[in-house]
């Protein structure tokens, strides 16, 4: 759920979401901030995307990004081990996420 909300609320491409790191995440009760420390493919020379900030949206429980991210980070902490990537299963290239029947 957190991945879908991040994608919808940020309007960022998949390569930006892929570089989100737990180490570069700052979570408070009202917002979360991702520092982007690596150059992206879309980064112009001399320019750099510094941070993405998400504010909590309290009118709808489904869109409470801070709540969902806190839950996701806590539940994934034991599975993540030495991986700092927030969403470790995102693949930019390669095979489709679902293998269809009859695809071999």
Residue 40 covered by a domain: yes
d(Cα 6, Cα 72) in Å, to the nearest integer?
12
Q: Which domain range does residue 53 map to?
A: 2-80
The total domain count for the chain is 1
Residue 101 covered by a domain: no
Contacts of 20 (CB under 8 A, 6+ apart): 6, 34, 36, 85, 86, 87
Residue 10 covered by a domain: yes
Q: What pTM did the predictor assign?
A: 0.67
* Chain segment 43-71, per-residue pLDDT in tens: 566 666 778 888 888 888 877 888 888 88
Question: Is residue 74 scored above 80 in pLDDT?
Answer: yes
Residue 104 covered by a domain: no
């Amino acid at each position: 759920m957190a991945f879908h909300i991040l994608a919808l609320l940020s309007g960022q491409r998949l390569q930006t979401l892929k570089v989100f790191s737990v180490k570069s995440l700052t979570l408070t009760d009202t917002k979360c901030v991702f520092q982007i420390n690596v150059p992206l493919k879309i980064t112009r020379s001399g320019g750099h995307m510094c941070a993405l900030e998400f504010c909590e949206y309290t009118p709808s429980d489904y869109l409470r990004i801070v709540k969902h991210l806190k839950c996701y980070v806590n539940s994934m902490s034991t599975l993540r081990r030495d991986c700092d990537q927030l969403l470790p299963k995102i693949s930019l290239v390669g095979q489709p996420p679902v293998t269809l029947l009859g695809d071999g």
